[in-house]
Amino acid sequence: MGIQEQIRAKAAEYKMYTAQNLSKMVQVKSYSSKEEDVCRLIVSLCEEAGFDEVRIDGLGSVIGRVGYGEKTIAFDAHIDTVEVGNLDNWDFDPFSGEIADGLVKGRGTSDQKGGAASMITAGRILKELGYGGQYSIYFTFTVMEEDCDGMCWKYLIEEEKFKPELIVSTEPTSCRLYRGHRGRMEIRVFLKGISCHGSAPERGVSAAYKASKAALAIEQLNEDLQPDEGNFLGKGTITVSQMDVKGPSQCAVPDYAMLYCDRRLTWGEDAELAINQVKEYVSKATGDSIDDIIVEMPIYEKLGWTQKDYHQELYFPTWKIDEDHFLVTSGVEAYTKLYGSAPVVDKWTFSTNLVATTGRHKIPAIGFGPGDENQAHAPNEITRVEDLEICAAFYAMLPYTLDGRA
């Protein structure tokens, strides 16, 4: 029996093991910066699976390893989740982890504890097969992604000096192989007015009206943004997500306004370009000079569960990898050997930890994960047990496919 048949057989044998591990993780709440309990659970699951090493880094992420090769590859899953929102929108307990009808149900099943569960099974399979190839295979279960994508990896690379040669994100891809996504950044715009009594608004300058004009200008900017060359990642976007207007009283013209923007960045766009665009469009709309408009990138400063003091600006660079890169072709080969046909190669709409590993630090990466992107942050979140099995097999197969290549 060839290695692909052995891996496929073991992934099928451990299908319910994978689903049950996912169920256990779903039952443990792990909102961003509050992941300690699920991290402790994952440590025990990795140890039970026979990993060669399991540790917790300074920021709180779990780092597991299988194998002793000179080269390094990391499979990454963030194990924090967003909150559940309005419970009236759920048809079941978000933390039940119920397994029924070929599905695992609950918050985080697709985004993205499903990938974590498949990673644990892949590690078990590799250990049982006695993998002794060229790679040390790391499985990283990372924290705080929902709040600040990639900061966990920025910390690992820049502070702990852990920089693998290759990365696989296990964010949901519907078992397709992804090779890029847009970057993003958060932008704050501050506008000044001149307050006066509300009975004579002509005596002042309303920051509220400036904010309204600025919001419409940003809407126009969004329409004017263009796709990348080849239209692989598509166009960048910008939207106003929050507005705040204040003045001396409810009976006064406001003299302060703030607009908060979510900016998605296609290939070739960066923070400097995005900030200058906002300044230009807002200046034209409000009549203020560019120098009088404050446009800035906020800093993420929340402490994680280890209370480590670490932060970064809210900028997450765009990334992509060429379709003929050996990591992409190895991924296609691994999937084809397992399942007899090539996977769909595509891209994410949303952002992942790869903004740090690949956008910032240029480590080649691909994505392959269980579940669907449209389940992320949605009520009634589910993932398919079949996806978990497919991904466990893929993660175990990829190092064998990579052995002997660049």
Q: Looking at residue 283, which CATH number applies to its domain?
A: 3.30.70.360
Give the predicted TM-score (pTM) of the model: 0.95
Answer with the one of 241, 267, 300 that is the final residue of a domain. Answer: 300
Q: Give the residue from 275, 279, 321, 369 showing the smallest Cα distance to 78.
A: 369
In a domain, 305, yes or no: no
Q: 57, 111, 145, 269: which is the annotated catalytic residue?
A: 145
| Same-domain status, 11 and 110 | yes
So what's the pLDDT on residue 406?
A: 65
Answer with the one of 300, 333, 363 that is the final residue of a domain. Answer: 300
Distance CA 380, CA 7 (A): 32
| Same-domain status, 168 and 236 | no
Whether 400 shows a pLDDT value over 70: the answer reads: yes
So what's the pLDDT on residue 56?
A: 98
Query: Alpha carbon of 122 to those of 151, 178, 224: distances in Å?
Result: 25, 19, 45
Residue-wise pLDDT for 284-319, tens only, equals: 999 999 988 999 999 999 999 999 999 999 999 999
Q: 35, 57, 80, 389: which is the annotated catalytic residue?
A: 80
Whether 405 shows a pLDDT value over 90: the answer reads: no
Residue-wise pLDDT for 9-62, tens only, equals: 999 999 999 999 999 999 999 999 999 999 999 999 999 999 999 999 999 999
So what's the pLDDT on residue 2?
A: 93
| Same-domain status, 14 and 161 | yes
Average pLDDT over residues 337-359: 97
So what's the pLDDT on residue 219?
A: 98
Q: Is 204 helix (H, G, I), strand (E, B) or coil?
A: coil
Element (H, E) at 271: helix 271-286
Told to judge if 229 belongs to the known catalytic residues of this protein, a careful annotator would answer no
Token duo for residue 404 = 């002997």
Residue-wise pLDDT for 160-218, tens only, equals: 999 999 999 999 999 999 999 999 999 999 999 999 999 999 999 999 999 999 999 99
Element (H, E) at 358: none
What's the CA dihedral at 80, 86, 87, 92 to 10 degrees? -70
When divided into structural domains, the chain yields a total of 2
Mean pLDDT score across all residues of the chain: 97
Q: At what angle do helices 15-26 and 3-13 cross, to 10 degrees?
A: 50
| Same-domain status, 255 and 227 | yes
Told to judge if 145 belongs to the known catalytic residues of this protein, a careful annotator would answer yes
| Same-domain status, 240 and 282 | yes
Q: Is 344 helix (H, G, I), strand (E, B) or coil?
A: coil
Q: Which residues contact 75 (CB under 8 A, 6 or more apart)?
A: 115, 119, 122, 137, 138, 139, 140, 167, 168, 170, 395
| Same-domain status, 145 and 234 | no
| Same-domain status, 217 and 177 | no
Residue-wise pLDDT for 230-284, tens only, equals: 999 999 999 999 999 999 999 999 999 999 999 999 999 999 999 999 999 999 9
| Same-domain status, 205 and 81 | no
Q: Give the residue from 40, 114, 29, 30 showing the smallest Cα distance to 75.
A: 114
